[in-house]
């Protein structure tokens, strides 16, 4: 759709400006929709997001979690029934006002008050464990600065897994299953997430624990990117979600809920992209390979015919391939446009290549060209696609390593954070110490306990010995 003229993209070092330009130039999002915190998904963005969603659909369903769709309207009575949840979300709630002027419903900010009043009935119908998910839009009135795909008022492509179990142990195993699935989604996106256990005073309203994934964005800010909430029996007691045990006694279920969505794509854009635009992992690229014919008038027919033959060969091998036959723009401009869209591989073919029975293959991640024999192209591309995925992942690992530094004093840690870094510090786990390493006004936060085990260190605040480590940074 968008006709791209060279040099429209600011350098990535100017991160938010770069990010917003990429959304526009790569046809991902149109932010001109006249309601703050919302946007229109453009064709390339929808294709990208669907490729990510298809993967989570596959992983959830392989694990036996079934897809459902629950209405957007949530009964206000059911929402208010859970006091902690209601207090936590009250200032973010949109109401649905009826033509009569009554407001009996809210728009779903999360799925709990919509689904849980039905859980007891479903357990009677289908038994335990109950394991379902939905992918929907959710609505939260955000007072903080909105950023497309990162903090929206309409949160699109949002999945929520909700499960109910007979025992605490079973629910804890379920949380681990969700973590394994989430790690697989991230692997697919070539991004290694940072995973933490949240302290009990920092969890989802009403929950008893949480495991959260984070990514560090190029400006050094942390982005919360997916959570597994351990609800214990807090919600089942409120919504009376029960089953009869073997002795005929009523028991409350143990619950887990897990959610994330378009922030996966935000991380892909932010972490893999460069000064030339998007750089996509082949797993989710709507176009994995673009063929650009290089031709003059007299060679046009022959080159086009060969390019079409090649396209068919690649398509049959299962590669998502397109060919750019536009005549009104130069090959150089075509290169530029497909680079902004992050297409992992470009094949250039002209009379020289045809004569030598070879192809010029350009890889978007390293910006390098190789000459490949035509009859070995499929094998070569298959290897190249997984190599690109691995290269991108390594690059992100290196970026994270360069951002995270260890500190022993709060002053030095904050100094590093203000410079756009992420400080790794020891922390005993107690709330008063936690509050000392957060600066809410400057959006500096600690993120909970890293899952990695560490040697004993002293808490950066109270000097008590601890193995807990956390990251402190500005946060989106």
Helix (H) or strand (E) holding 355: helix 351-356
Residue 215 beta carbon to Zn ion: minimum distance, rounded to whole angstroms: 27
The least distance separating Zn ion from the CB of residue 458, rounded to whole angstroms, comes to 9
For 173-208, b/e burial (b = at least 16 CB within 10 A) is ebbebbbebbebbbebbbbebbbbbbbeebbbbbbb
Our CB check for Zn ion shows the closer of 136 and 433 to be 433
446 belongs to the binding site for Zn ion (CB under 5 A): no
Residue 366 binds to Zn ion (criterion: CB under 5 A): no
Is the link from the previous residue into 66 a cis peptide, with omega within 30 of 0? Answer: no
Count other Cβ atoms within 10 Å, centred on residue 277.
26
Among 238, 289, 428, 472, binds Zn ion (CB under 5 A): 428
Separation of alpha carbons 83 and 259, rounded Å: 21
* Whole-angstrom distance, CA of residue 323 vs CA of residue 332: 15
Cβ nearer to Zn ion, comparing 149 with 461: 461
461 sits near Zn ion (criterion: CB under 5 A): yes
Least CB distance from residue 432 to Zn ion, whole Å?
7
Q: Is 98 in the site for Zn ion (CB under 5 A)?
A: no
Q: What angle do CA 162, 179, 173 make, to 5 degrees?
A: 70
Q: Give yes or no for residue 196 binding Zn ion (CB under 5 A).
A: no
Size of the site for Zn ion (CB under 5 A): 5
Interaction between residue 425 and Zn ion (CB under 5 A):
no
* Residue number with CB closer to Zn ion (106 or 433): 433
Structural tokens at position 424? 């790794």
Question: Shortest Cβ distance from residue 435 to Zn ion (Å)?
Answer: 10
Q: 292 vs 446, which CB is nearer to Zn ion?
A: 446
Which tokens in the block code for residue 344? 């992992």
Give bridge partners of residue 130 from the DSSP assignment.
Answer: 164
Classify residue 147 by its DSSP letter.
B
The stretch near Zn ion (CB under 5 A) out of 123-131, 250-258, 398-406, 455-463 is 455-463
Least distance from C-beta 462 to Zn ion, angstroms? 3
Q: Does 462 bind Zn ion (CB under 5 A)?
A: yes
Determine, following the binding rule CB under 5 A, whether residue 413 of this chain makes contact with Zn ion.
no
| CB neighbour class for 137 (10 Å; exposed up to 12, middle 13-18, buried from 19) | middle
The CB-of-194 to Zn ion minimum distance in angstroms stands at 21
Of the candidates 431, 413, 412, 435, the residue with the CA atom closest to the CA atom of residue 422: 413
- Which residues form the interface with Zn ion (CB under 5 A)? 428, 433, 459, 461-462
């Amino acid at each position: 759709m968008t006709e791209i003229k060279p040099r429209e993209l600011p350098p990535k070092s100017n991160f938010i400006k770069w990010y917003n330009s990429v959304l526009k130039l790569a046809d991902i999002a149109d932010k001109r929709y006249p309601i703050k915190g919302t946007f229109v998904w453009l064709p390339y963005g929808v294709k990208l997001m669907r490729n990510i969603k298809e993967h989570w659909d596959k992983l959830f369903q392989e694990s036996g979690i079934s897809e459902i769709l629950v209405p957007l309207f949530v009964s206000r009575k059911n929402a208010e029934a859970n006091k902690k949840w209601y207090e936590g979300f009250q200032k973010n709630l949109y109401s649905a006002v009826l033509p009569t002027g009554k407001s009996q419903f809210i728009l779903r900010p999360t799925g709990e008050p919509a689904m849980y009043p039905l859980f007891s009935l479903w357990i009677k119908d289908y038994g335990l464990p109950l394991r379902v998910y939905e992918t929907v839009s959710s609505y939260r009135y955000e007072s903080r600065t909105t950023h497309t795909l990162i903090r929206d008022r309409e949160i699109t492509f949002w999945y929520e897994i909700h499960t109910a179990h007979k025992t605490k142990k079973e629910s804890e195993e379920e949380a681990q299953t969700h973590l394994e699935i989430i790690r697989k989604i991230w692997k697919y996106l070539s991004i290694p997430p940072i995973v933490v256990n949240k302290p009990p005073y920092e969890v989802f309203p009403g929950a008893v624990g949480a495991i959260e994934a984070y990514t560090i964005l190029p400006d050094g800010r942390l982005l919360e990117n997916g959570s597994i909430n351990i609800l214990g029996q807090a919600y089942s007691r409120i919504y009376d979600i029960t089953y009869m045990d073997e002795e005929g006694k009523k028991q409350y279920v143990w619950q887990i809920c897990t959610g994330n969505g378009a922030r996966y794509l935000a991380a892909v854009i932010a972490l893999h992209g460069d000064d030339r635009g998007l750089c996509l992992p082949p797993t989710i690229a709507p176009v994995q390979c673009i063929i650009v014919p290089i031709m003059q008038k007299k060679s046009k027919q022959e080159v086009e015919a060969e390019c079409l033959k090649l396209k068919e060969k690649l398509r049959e091998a299962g590669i998502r391939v397109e060919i750019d036959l536009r005549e009104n723009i130069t090959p150089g401009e075509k290169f530029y446009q497909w680079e902004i869209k992050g297409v992992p591989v470009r094949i250039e073919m002209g009379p020289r290549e045809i004569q030598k029975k070879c192809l010029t293959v350009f890889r978007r991640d390293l910006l390098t060209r190789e000459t490949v024999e035509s009859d070995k192209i499929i094998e070569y591309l298959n290897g190249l696609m997984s190599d690109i995925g691995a290269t991108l992942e390594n690059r992100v690992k290196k970026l994270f390593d360069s951002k995270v530094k260890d500190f022993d004093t709060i002053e030095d840690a904050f100094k590093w954070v203000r410079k756009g870094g992420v400080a790794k510090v020891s922390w005993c786990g107690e709330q008063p110490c936690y509050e000392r390493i957060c600066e809410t006004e400057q959006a500096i936060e600690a993120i909970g306990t890293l899952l990695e085990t560490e040697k004993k260190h002293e808490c950066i605040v109270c000097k008590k010995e601890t193995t807990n480590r956390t990251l402190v940074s500005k946060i989106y």
